[in-house]
C-alpha cells in the first residue's frame, strides 16, 4: 500500500460546519467557494446538511466491531480491509485528491464545534492519514511527516469576541493557541501545513454591510493564496525534539513554554 496520498494539482476540498441556512458562515461559504472556483476544482462537504455522523463508534470498525484492542489499531485494520463507512470514504477520497483543504466553522466555547472534531476523529483514520514509522530513525511519521504531506489548509473561523479579547493577552486566550490542537495536533500531525488563520471577529454584531465587507475580505484572501508564505511548524524528524522525550532540546528557545516555540525559526 502506498504510504502517501499524492494530491491532485488544482483540487480543493471545503469542509463547512454550521447548522443554520441563513448565517454569516453560509454567506462566507458562497463568496469563498465562488472565489476558490476561479482557480480550483472545488468539492464541498456541508456536514450538517449532509447529516455527517461525528461520533467515532463501533460502525467504524467494520467486521472488527466488538473486538478487543486498541481503537486506533482496529480502525486501521478496518481501513486496510476496505471496511470504511460510506460518509468517511467520501471525505477521505475528497481529501486525498485535494492540494488545499478549507475548514470553515464558528468558534464555540473557544474551540471548533463537535462536528469538526468528529470529522477529524473519523476521517484521519490510521492507515489513511497516519500510522507509519520511519525505517531509518524508527520514529513515527507524524508532525509534518504523515501520509497527507504536500497539502495546505486554510482555516476560516468566525468568533463573537473582538480581536483584543482573543489576542495574546486577552481574557479568552490567544486564538492561535486555542486552535493549536487543530493546526498542530491534527493537521500538522498528518502532514498538512495550516496557513495563517482567517478570522472574522465580532461576528455576532455584523449587519448586512458588515457581511458584505467580510465576504470581500475573504475573496481577497483566497485570491492571494498562491502568493502566501507561512511559518510551518517544526517536524518531529528534523532533530529539534529529543528522541526519547519528544520535547524540544534545552538550547531551543531556552526558558520559553509558549506554543510559538514549535514554529520553525
Phi first, then psi: what are they for 89, rounded to 5°?
A: -60, -40
Superfamily of domain 11-234: Flavodoxin domain (3.40.50.360)
Percent of the chain with pLDDT over 90: 85
Domain limits of the chain?
11-234
Check whether 1 has a pLDDT greater than 50. no
Cα(182)–Cα(189) distance, rounded to whole angstroms?
9
Cα(186)–Cα(238) distance, rounded to whole angstroms?
19
Q: What is the pLDDT of residue 3?
A: 61
Check whether 177 has a pLDDT greater than 50. yes
Considering the entire predicted model, what is its pTM? 0.93
Q: What is the pLDDT of residues 36-60, one digit of tens each?
A: 999 999 999 999 999 999 999 999 9
Q: What is the pLDDT of residues 126-136, one digit of tens each?
A: 999 998 887 77
Q: Which residue has the cell 463573537?
A: 160
Angle at which helix 208-223 crosses helix 24-36, to 10 degrees, equals 30
Q: Which residue has the cell 531551543?
A: 252
Mean pLDDT for 234-259 is 91
Long-range pairs for 222-228 at CB < 8 Å and ≥24 separation? 222/32, 222/35, 222/36, 222/154, 223/35, 223/38, 225/39, 225/100, 225/154, 225/195, 226/39, 228/195, 228/196
Amino acid at each position: 500500500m502506498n504510504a502517501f496520498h499524492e494530491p491532485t494539482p488544482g483540487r480543493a476540498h471545503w469542509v463547512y460546519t454550521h447548522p443554520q441556512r441563513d448565517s454569516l458562515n453560509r454567506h462566507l461559504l458562497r463568496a469563498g467557494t465562488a472565489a476558490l472556483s476561479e482557480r480550483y476544482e472545488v468539492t464541498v462537504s456541508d456536514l450538517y446538511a449532509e447529516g455527517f455522523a461525528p461520533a467515532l463508534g463501533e460502525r467504524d470498525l467494520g467486521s472488527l466491531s466488538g473486538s478487543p484492542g486498541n481503537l486506533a489499531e482496529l480502525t486501521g485494520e478496518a481501513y486496510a480491509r476496505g471496511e470504511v463507512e460510506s460518509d468517511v470514504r467520501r471525505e477521505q477520497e475528497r481529501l486525498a485528491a485535494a492540494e488545499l483543504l478549507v475548514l470553515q466553522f464558528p468558534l464555540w466555547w473557544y474551540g471548533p464545534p463537535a462536528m469538526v472534531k468528529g470529522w477529524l476523529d473519523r476521517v484521519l483514520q490510521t492507515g489513511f492519514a497516519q500510522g507509519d514509522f520511519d525505517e531509518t530513525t524508527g520514529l513515527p511519521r507524524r508532525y509534518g511527516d504523515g501520509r497527507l504531506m504536500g497539502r495546505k489548509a486554510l482555516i476560516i473561523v468566525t468568533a463573537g469576541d473582538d480581536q483584543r479579547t482573543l489576542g495574546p493577552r486577552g481574557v479568552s486566550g490567544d486564538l492561535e493557541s486555542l486552535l493549536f490542537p487543530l493546526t498542530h495536533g491534527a493537521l500538522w500531525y498528518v502532514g498538512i501545513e495550516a496557513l495563517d488563520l482567517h478570522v472574522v471577529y465580532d461576528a455576532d454584531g455584523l449587519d448586512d454591510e458588515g457581511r458584505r465587507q467580510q465576504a470581500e475580505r475573504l475573496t481577497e484572501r483566497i485570491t492571494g493564496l498562491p502568493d502566501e508564505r507561512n511559518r510551518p511548524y517544526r517536524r518531529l524528524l528534523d532533530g529539534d525534539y529529543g528522541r526519547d522525550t519528544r520535547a524540544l532540546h534545552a538550547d531551543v528557545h531556552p526558558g520559553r513554554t509558549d506554543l510559538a516555540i514549535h514554529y520553525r525559526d
